[in-house]
Structure 1
Amino acid sequence: MTETVAGGRTYVRFHENIESPRDDEADDIERIVRVLRSNNERAYRTNKRGLRDAHAKGHGILRGELEVLDGLAPELAQGMFAAPGTFPVIARLSSTSGAIRSDQLRGVRGLGLKVIGVTGPRALPDDTANTQDFIMVTHREFLFADAHAYSRTGMVTAWALARLSDRALKFGSEALDALNARVLPILGTKLPDTLAVFVEPNTHILGDTFHSSAPLRHGDHIVKMRLVPRSPEVCALAGERMPADGEVNAFAESVIDFFACHAAEYELQVQLCTDLAAMPIEDATKEWDDALSPYRTVAIIRYPKQETYTPQRRAFGDEVLSFNSWRGLDAHRPLGSINRLKRRVYDASSQYRHRVNHAPMLEPADESELPT
């Protein structure tokens, strides 16, 4: 069902039966959870502490605020964006690998955004927090269509990334880069996205654009979400390449150096679904065309100058905090197979990590709980 709004554009209306899982999805998810648990256990034996099975290495923990814009159009003024206001936020920058690796390696970077003081009916019945989590990555579409595709091919990648050495991964990345630059153009083809992410050069993480990759509910509608640089200092970093021979922790160092001297602003934007055939919910690899529905800003996120990775802040952000896209309002419920997979995977990983590390599980009620 769609509705017509000013300007003639129509937007798909959310309803409870809008998702269409495969009959074997639960079996696929159970298989994935088992494999990822074995990766968790291996990481614990190797590192003597529990790690996230994704986004294991942090690059900075930021304190800031999110301002919901005044005067939003009705289709944008949904859920926590229904009325103008300001919320505290805590953000964690990361690499999406489940292993602690050198920042010289190419790959996808992540952003966990925790908005504090968000009240209303929750996506999960046992969630009593007043926080809204959004998880985004630097790759626009997810690399696998659904849980079935991930269980068949994605788990091979996850298994290998948990076990191969940095040296082996760097050699593989350089070989793929050479193949992509010299051979594939002659053949008129290109690397699949699942491999291309290991070829793209590393860029400054504060200049990157972050995407939800998979859709989520937006009150009466359905959207994908992204975060884009806004202030001149971070806009200037967009596309800036990190040194190929940089430090092992180059991302964290670059974030520390930036926020020692500068504040930063970003725009939080949503892209409304206008056509379920062209902008599907269940296939997370399908690009939603900007021509069908452009991204539109719903909020501004501001980070002041700060120390981003003190030992106390690192311990709190990397060990105590968890980020889960299912922790939040039902009005922003994650949608589609990949998000239903994440519901099980994120919770299982967090439970294991906190248990073996003897770390408390808590949701901050106030931004002052984040150490300076």
Structure 2
Amino acid sequence: MTAIPKPAIPYDSRHEAEEEGEQETRAQLLHTLHGISATTYKDSGHASRSVHAKSHGLLRGHLHVLDGLAPELAQGIFAQPGRFEVVMRYSTIPGDLLDDKVSTPRGLAVKLIGVPGVQLSSLDPDADAADHDATTQDFVLVNGPAFLAPTARQFLGSLKLLASTTDKVPRLKQALSTVLQGVEKVLEAAGGDSGALKSLGGHPETHVLGETYYSQAPILYGQYMAKVAVAPVSPELAALKGAPVDLHGKPNGLRQAVMDFFARHSATWEVRVQLCRNMETMPLEDASVVWPEDESPYFAVARITALPQAGWSEALSRLVDDGMAFSPWHGVLAHRPLGSIMRVRKAAYRMSARFRFERTGHLMQEPRNLDDWPAG
């Protein structure tokens, strides 16, 4: 018999506490990320994201908020049934554009357009003026339930390690990735895994569409606190869970796999929410802790549907990769990011976007519709 979960805990500012030296950590984080962007820009002549530079899928869809949600789930933008346009961007972690044989964790950024509510940018004096009238909500997700590091300071250390590999010989990265994937398989066979190995190139060569993606760090969920996940549920998508992708001689094999899928299939994902029900086992300030699902299961609050489409193209890359920014701080007050990891990332996302847009000439503003979405 399934136990009834404890009630969700209402948010209280006392649940958050600034980490010692957090402002210095933030400054070093900005310096490190700016260095990655400057290095890749110098090499390629094209301004890319500091992390998650390479996209593998660029999709358009719709999100439908489910009917009849329980009161603790009917919060924020999910308070009432509704339908929003959605952009989905699949990516991998590095800040340089690598052969897919260098296999690293996968990311999914989701942007909802036309959402109601007070925007965080309208309350932020450092926000760009163009964002003050935004109507978007972003969820920035990775295919693992917990963050690589527990605190902002330790996150900085991991990022410096990743930054040190930027601009290194691609063939050496491929060789390292092959070795790390073998080590990771041994760890998983023994019942474990290593986020550090995966981040440096040891991630299994699996299909990006078969993964479940997680916010890892918590956000406000109306009057509560929660983590968010997006999971594949349509049969064709679910069949891709753990499915290998042949990347031999295919530097953009992940991208091609997404294009091949959407040439034939529609897709449906669930947006799921895990509410904080125990501050001891579900802390806000340690993003490396996996919140136990036996205490707080994930519940579906919405579905995203995408029809057959291009999946990726140069025109889509110009629109989304070059022309859009994704950040957990793009959104409404009811879903404000929580914890030190999220706080230091705020300025980092903004810096990365400004670096790109200053060099590409794109306007730094949130989309209000998808009327200019390329046909193919």
- The normalised TM-score by structure 2 is 0.92
Q: In the TM superposition, what is the alpha-carbon distance from 1:181 to its structure 2 partner?
A: 5.6
Q: 2:339 aligns to what?
A: 336
Give 1:105's aligned amino acid.
V
- 1: distance between equivalents of 2:316 and 2:216? 28
Residue matched to 1:159:
163
Residues 1:137 and 2:142 are matched in the alignment: yes
2:128 matched to which residue of 1?
A: none
AA at the equivalent of 2:12: H
SS at match of 1:132: strand
Report the secondary structure of 2:322's partner residue: helix
Q: Is the 8 A contact 2:5 2:296 kept in 1?
A: no
What are the equivalent positions in structure 2 for 1:161-310 lying under 5 Å apart? 161-179=165-183, 192-197=194-199, 198-310=201-313
| 1:30 and 2:27 correspond | yes
Counterpart residue number, 1:3? none
Distance verdict in 2 for CA 1:180–1:336, change over 3 Å: same
Alpha-carbon separation, structure 2, partners of 1:128 and 1:330: 14
Q: CA deviation at 1:134?
A: 0.7
C-alpha separation in 2, matches of 1:7 and 1:206:
32
Q: Structure 1 residues 7, 141: CA separation in 2 closer, same or farther (over 3 Å shift)?
A: closer
1:324 aligns with 2:327: yes
Which of 146, 154, 160 aligns to 1:149? It is: 154
CA distance in 2, matches of 1:180, 1:306: 34
Q: Deviations over 1:13-41 (max 9, x none)?
A: 11234211113101111011012112111
Could you report, residue by residue, the CA deviation over 1:83-138 in whole angstroms, capped at 9, with x for unpaired residues?
01111111111112111011112111111111010121122314320011111111
CA deviation after TM superposition for structure 1 residue 8, in Å: 6.0
Distance in 2 between residues matched to 1:282 and 1:300, nearest whole Å: 29
Identity %: 34
- Residue identity matched to 2:138: D
Q: Assess, with a 3 A threshold, how the Cα gap between structure 1 residues 371 and 322 changes in structure 2: closer, same or farther.
A: same
- Cα displacement (A) at 1:174: 2.8
**Paired residue for 1:49?**
46
Amino acid at match of 2:270: E
Paired position in structure 1 for 2:74: 77
The unaligned stretches of length 5 or more in structure 1 are 1-5
TM-score (norm 1): 0.93
Deviates most, 51-60 or 356-365: 356-365
Return the alpha-carbon distance in structure 2 between the equivalents of residues 89 and 193 of structure 1.
Answer: 29
Once the two structures are TM-superposed, the CA of residue 310 in structure 1 deviates from its matched residue by: 2.9
* In 2: Cα distance, 1:161 partner to 1:341 partner: 22
Q: Secondary structure at the match of 1:90?
A: strand
Between 1:357-366 and 1:119-128, the stretch displaced more is: 119-128
Structure-2 change in CA distance of 1:358 and 1:324 (3 Å)? same
Q: Is the 8 A contact 2:104 2:203 kept in 1?
A: yes
Decide whether the 8 Å contact of 1:99 with 1:161 is kept in 2: no
Q: Distance in 2 between matches of 1:333 and 1:294?
A: 21
CA contact (8 A) 1:60 1:314 kept: no
Task: Report the Cα offset of residue 201 of structure 1.
Answer: 1.0
**How far off its partner does 1:298 sit?**
0.2
Looking at structure 2, the residues matched to 75 and 149 of structure 1 have their Cα atoms a distance apart, in angstroms, of 33
CA distance in 2, matches of 1:262, 1:185: 32
Q: How many residues align?
A: 364
What is the alpha-carbon distance in structure 2 between the residues aligned to residue 304 and residue 239 of structure 1? 23
Aligned partner of 2:129 in structure 1 is none
Letter in 1 for 2:195: D
Once the two structures are TM-superposed, the CA of residue 177 in structure 1 deviates from its matched residue by 4.0
How big is each residue's C-alpha offset from its partner over 1:253-301, in whole Å with a ceiling of 9 and x where there is no partner? 1111111111100000011111111111111111111111011000000
